[in-house]
Structure 1
Amino acid sequence: MANKTGIGQTTIGRIRRGEVNATAENLRAIADAFDVPVGYLYGEETVHGIRVDMDIRQPSPAPKRTMGTTRGYFGPPPDKIGQLPLISWVQAGNWTEAIDNFAPGDAEEWIPCPFKHSQHAFVLKVVGKSMYNPGNDKSFNDGDYIAVDPCREARNGSMVVVRLDDDHTATFKQLLVEPNGERMLMALNPSWPNRIIHIHASATICGVVIGKWTAED
């Protein structure tokens, strides 16, 4: 398997023994080597062939701005340069539409961000354990803060904030992209039920996670 996938023998052994979980890159290498979709590795017997119209291979366009409005959001005010607004998951799900009417006072608070970001980036507080996997390189615990940039390009393996179908609240998962363009979302928590879901055409990628903070008790 090591020769066929290009994954190191030691890594394969640790995955098989349950010592570590396969990364998105490892899953893609294994699926490609055996000519099966990634979902098959999680017990799926069929491929649903659902596609997303959005071409995430291209950079996400910046949210529209109305130059004539007094409340149009053009980034943080002068006294908050280098900070990002902490918003709710409902606000995140409608960020593209709501950004024109977003005022600095609409943020729950402003948080200094050390990561390079566009003026449209924002911060969310992680809720739940679906992305918690302490045995993996990437893990996001309940209560962590994540910086999200809607202008960052979403790629296979990116951590993304997505609004599904007609749901007004956004969700946070890892993006997986099949060679045929099929897109899925995966929870990092290996024990999470329905860990992989397919993205329907009405899903909206609200932004890519560019960093996180963990608050001390």
Structure 2
Amino acid sequence: MERHERIARAIALSGKKKGEIAALCGVANSAVTQWISGESKSLRPENLYALAKATGFRAEWLAIGEGSETEAYESNVASTRQPIESFRYPVISWVAAGAWAEAVEPFPPGFSDRYELSDYNSKGPAFWLEVKGDSMTSPVGTSITEGTLILVDTEADVQSGKLVIAKLADSDQATFKKLVDDGGRRYLKPLNPAYPTEMCAENCRIVGVVVRALQKL
């Protein structure tokens, strides 16, 4: 299903008229018509967020067809559609992620020119990273392939077994690994067994916990 077809479906099932959708999104009626017809090839993140909120459909599904259309809510009377909130987070570089631990103001105005949406409401400042390399690609179980966008919450609970972004003292970049606690010592373990496990000692800082993964086809 093409994006404009998903948008048309969401608007139709929302029960709202195009004029109502336009008003809720802060755009002209003609813009909504172009979204539905596919004439408009671009859709600003703020418009996508507003459209998701207006229709009750997930922004990620509207944008790229990822995941379910909506979150399901059921009662003992009937199932209902509920508006799903979407949140906008910047996509940053691995060097910028590594600098997070030392930065006084990690995200100054104009820090990033690219943003992605998620239904995850972060506990603290959050950002997306694009996975590089195959150290987290596993032949079995959880596998995060190169090119996947991962969402990092800098104030999520850090626990053993979580996938984390860490900063080692001898590197200017962040690293993506699984945090493992063994006998009171913490280690950073890749999901790919071909790569070595590193110790997360005193000079190792956990930048945040990976809470979402978005793989674009």
Structure 1 ranges of 4+ moved more than 6 A: 78-81
Percent identical pairs in the alignment equals 33
Which structure is richer in relative contact order (CA contacts within 8 A, separation 6 or more)? 1
Task: Tell me how far apart the structure 2 counterparts of residues 119 and 160 of structure 1 sit (CA, whole Å).
Answer: 15
Counterpart of 2:195 in structure 1 is 193
CA pair 181-121 structure 1, distance change in 2 beyond 3 A:
same
- For residues 77-102 of structure 1, the C-alpha deviation after alignment (integer angstroms, 9 at most, x for no partner) is x9887110100001101114336152
TM-score using structure 2 length: 0.57
Q: Which amino acid aligns with 2:170?
A: D
Task: Tell me how far apart the structure 2 counterparts of residues 172 and 97 of structure 1 sit (CA, whole Å).
Answer: 18
Asked if 1:146 corresponds to 2:150, the answer is: yes
Aligned counterpart for 2:123 among listed residues 118, 124, 129: 118
Aligned counterpart for 2:187 among listed residues 178, 184, 188: 184
1:85 and 1:123 in contact (8 A); partners too: yes
- For residues 60-85 of structure 1, the C-alpha deviation after alignment (integer angstroms, 9 at most, x for no partner) is xxxxxxxxxxxxxxxxxx98871101
Counterpart of 1:74 in structure 2 is none
CA pair 142-108 structure 1, distance change in 2 beyond 3 A:
farther
Secondary structure of 1:92's counterpart equals helix
Counting matched residue pairs gives 135
TM-score using structure 1 length: 0.57
Secondary structure of 2:146's counterpart equals coil
Larger Rg: 2
CA pair 101-135 structure 1, distance change in 2 beyond 3 A:
closer
Asked if 1:173 corresponds to 2:174, the answer is: no
- For residues 125-178 of structure 1, the C-alpha deviation after alignment (integer angstroms, 9 at most, x for no partner) is 000000011521x21100000000110111110000000123110000000002
CA pair 134-108 structure 1, distance change in 2 beyond 3 A:
farther
Unmatched segments (≥5 aa) in structure 1: 1-77
1:165 and 1:200 in contact (8 A); partners too: no
Unmatched segments (≥5 aa) in structure 2: 1-45, 50-85
> 1:151-170 maps to which residues of 2 (within 5 A)?
151-170=155-174
Q: Which amino acid aligns with 1:165?
A: A
Counterpart of 1:32 in structure 2 is none
Q: Which amino acid aligns with 2:202?
A: A
1:85 and 1:104 in contact (8 A); partners too: no
Secondary structure of 2:110's counterpart equals helix
Task: Tell me how far apart the structure 2 counterparts of residues 184 and 158 of structure 1 sit (CA, whole Å).
Answer: 11
| Segment drifting more, 92-101 vs 122-131 | 92-101
Q: Which amino acid aligns with 2:100?
A: W
